[in-house]
Copies of this chain bind each other. A is one copy, B any other.
């Protein structure tokens, strides 16, 4: 599959692009905001396209022509200001969904956050971030896309363990960004993950096995 990655220059996005490039069946299309990022990626032999999430939906959809699957890992993390969170994590994400529908890219993988669906578990200081994730996810649930919503715990830059604990009631825990990327790339062509949303943290089950058991 030809997989477009929003946030390809981000910490998870870079891992996703690398894994897609190594994958026998997939091909990455890195979506980036700056000419300079585009040039760097092209030099590495990576197919890259310029896109700004502040553009209108029809403009964004042009960058998705010929794409089979979309990964949305753009966004701010909990520590950016609320204005950017509203622009990118909420409105940017929903515009990406609408653009994907318009371009006929049915498969959509969203990187959300642990317990984004349950207000009771939101840390009081991080309510704005979780709210943006929550309402973007709600829009995706109601879209016509073949979605998977991945809700990872606290993101770290630790080395990949390749093992996760997914699904069920998980309310705390952390996970390396590299393992989140592995879950994304593993899930893309697993039909059992379509229409699913799940929490995950580091655990004892190999990623492939945990994903197939969802």
Residues of A within 8 A of B (CB): 54, 56-57, 81-87, 90-91, 94-95, 119-120, 124, 127-128, 131-132, 134-135, 138-139, 142
Instruction: Knowing A82-B86, A85-B82, A86-B86 are in contact, say whether A139-B131 is a contact too (CB < 8 A).
Output: no
Report the bound CA distance from A91 to B56 in whole Å.
24
- Closest CB of chain B to A54's CB: distance in Å? 7
Instruction: Known A82-B81, A139-B135, A142-B142; judge A87-B127 contact (CB<8 A).
Output: yes
Quick check: A135 and B90 within 8 Å, CB to CB?
yes
On whether the beta carbons of B139 and A86 are closer than 8 Å, the reply is no
Interface residues of chain A: helix, strand, loop or mixed (majority): helix
Copies, count = 2
**Sample of 18 more A-B contacts, CB < 8 Å, known A83-B128, A86-B86:** A54-B124, A54-B127, A81-B83, A82-B86, A85-B86, A86-B127, A86-B128, A86-B131, A86-B132, A87-B127, A87-B131, A90-B131, A90-B135, A91-B119, A91-B131, A94-B135, A95-B119, A135-B135
A56: B residues at CB distance < 8 A:
119-120
